[in-house]
């Protein structure tokens, strides 16, 4: 199992960098994880999804009340031309154009301060730690599911 974590946001806009902070911490504590740090989602990212068991998109969210992770389904997302793609639209492109068959998730991290400046606010640091725990739990769940599936396949092969 190999997972791609994509942090969206601009670390030069205070709490907008919360996703990058969380993802970099996950990389320190988790194995079989690649990370990408991007300012915004773009259709070009879809090409990178192929070959991964799962994708976790991580983003600061002004509307989120708490850290939450949602699974992105196989719905057909609207992909209107703009400089910002909805996460489901990027996943849809990966599935339809690049043969991505893995799971896709979106982690919303509450953030309030998007003013220019370096470093997270105290609230942003707390939310980053909560996101690390939530993403770590998701990675463990995915790993267990992968190991269970691999065990079932080897049992069937006998």
CATH number of the domain bearing residue 132: 3.40.50.1450
- Worst-scoring range by mean pLDDT, 48-57, 122-131, 147-156? 147-156
Task: Dump pLDDT digits (tens) for 94-143.
Answer: 999 999 999 999 999 999 999 999 999 999 999 999 999 999 999 999 98
Cα–Cα distance, 142 to 140 (Å, whole number): 5
> What is the domain extent for residue 85?
3-157
pTM of the predicted model as reported, rounded to 2 decimal places: 0.86
Read off the pLDDT band of 146 (50, 70, 90).
confident
Reply yes or no on whether the pLDDT at 154 is more than 50.
Answer: no
CA neighbor of 131 nearest in space, from 9, 17, 12, 21 = 21
DSSP 96-117: HHH---SEEEEEEEE----SSB
- Total domains in the chain come to 1
CA neighbor of 106 nearest in space, from 65, 54, 59 = 59
Reply yes or no on whether the pLDDT at 45 is more than 60.
Answer: yes
């Amino acid at each position: 199992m190999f997972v791609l974590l994509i942090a969206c946001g601009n670390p030069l806009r205070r709490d907008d960098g919360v996703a990058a902070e969380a993802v970099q911490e996950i990389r320190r504590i988790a194995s079989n994880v690649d990370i990408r740090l991007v300012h915004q989602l773009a259709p070009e990212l879809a090409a990178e999804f192929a070959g991964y068991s799962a994708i976790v998109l991580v983003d600061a969210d002004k509307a989120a009340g708490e850290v939450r992770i949602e699974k992105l389904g196989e719905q057909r997302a609207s992909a209107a031309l703009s400089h910002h793609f909805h996460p489901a639209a990027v996943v849809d492109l990966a599935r339809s154009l690049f043969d991505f068959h893995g799971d896709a998730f979106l982690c919303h991290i509450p953030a309030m301060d998007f003013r220019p400046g370096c470093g997270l606010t105290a609230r942003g640091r707390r939310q980053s730690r909560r996101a690390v725990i939530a993403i770590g739990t998701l990675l463990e769940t995915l790993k267990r599911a992968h190991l269970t599936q691999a065990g079932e396949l080897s049992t069937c092969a006998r």
